[in-house]
Amino acid sequence: MPKPSFKLDKYSAVTAKIADEALYGNTNAAEPAKTLVSQGHLMLALELAHSEFKRDVDPEIIVARLAKNLHELRRDAGPAVWKALIPVAQQHPVSEYLQQDPFTKWSFEKPRGYSGDATLLDIYYQHKSADDIIAQATELGREIYHYTSNADSSVAGRERCEILTDYVDKTAADHPNAEILSIACGHLREAEKSEALKTNSLKRWVALDQDPQSLATVRHSNPGNAVQPVEGSVRGLLGRKYDLGQFDLVYASGLYDYLTVPIGVRLMQRCWDFVRPGGKFLFANFSDEIKTDGYMETFMDWPLILRNGSDMEEIVNGSVDRNSIDLNVFYGSNRNIVYAEVTKLA
Inform me whether the pLDDT recorded for 64 exceeds 90: yes
Mean pLDDT in residue range 326-333: 99
Q: How would you class 228 by CB atoms within 10 Å of its CB: exposed for 0-12, middle for 13-18, buried for 19 or more? A: middle
The pLDDT, as a whole number, for residue 119 is 98
Q: Distances from the Cα of 4 to the Cαs of 52, 56, 120, 255, 265, in angstroms? A: 37, 38, 15, 18, 27
Inform me whether the pLDDT recorded for 326 exceeds 60: yes
The pLDDT, as a whole number, for residue 10 is 54
The pLDDT, as a whole number, for residue 15 is 46
pLDDT tens readout for residues 297-321: 999 999 999 999 999 999 999 999 9
- For residue 47, tell me if it sits in a domain: no
- For residue 68, tell me if it sits in a domain: no
Of 91, 170, 104, the residue nearest 137 (C-alpha): 104
The pLDDT, as a whole number, for residue 17 is 62
Is this prediction's pTM over 0.75? yes
- For residue 187, tell me if it sits in a domain: yes
- For residue 124, tell me if it sits in a domain: no
- For residue 184, tell me if it sits in a domain: yes
246 residue type, one letter: Q
pLDDT tens readout for residues 47-56: 999 999 999 9
Inform me whether the pLDDT recorded for 16 exceeds 60: no
Inform me whether the pLDDT recorded for 90 exceeds 70: yes
| Rounded Cα gap, residues 101 and 128, in angstroms | 17
| Rounded Cα gap, residues 274 and 227, in angstroms | 17
Better pLDDT: 17 or 330? 330
Q: Give the dihedral sign, CA 331/336/337/340.
A: positive
Of 213, 272, 282, 211, the residue nearest 240 (C-alpha): 272
Which segment of 14-18, 107-111, 165-169, 278-282 scores lowest on mean pLDDT?
A: 14-18
| Rounded Cα gap, residues 11 and 15, in angstroms | 10
Inform me whether the pLDDT recorded for 13 exceeds 70: no
What confidence category does residue 28 fall into, taking pLDDT thresholds of 50, 70 and 90?
low
Mean pLDDT in residue range 210-216: 97
The pLDDT, as a whole number, for residue 311 is 98
Number of domains in the chain: 1
- For residue 144, tell me if it sits in a domain: no
Average pLDDT score over the chain = 94
- For residue 269, tell me if it sits in a domain: yes
- For residue 255, tell me if it sits in a domain: yes
Instruction: State the residue range of the domain holding 208.
Output: 154-344
| CATH number of the domain to which 268 belongs | 3.40.50.150
The pLDDT, as a whole number, for residue 6 is 56
Mean pLDDT in residue range 83-92: 97
Longest CA pairwise span in the chain (Å): 64
DSSP letter for 322, please: G
Which segment of 79-83, 105-109, 280-284, 327-331 scores lowest on mean pLDDT?
A: 79-83
pLDDT tens readout for residues 110-165: 999 999 999 999 999 999 999 999 999 999 999 999 999 999 999 999 999 999 99
| Rounded Cα gap, residues 241 and 236, in angstroms | 5
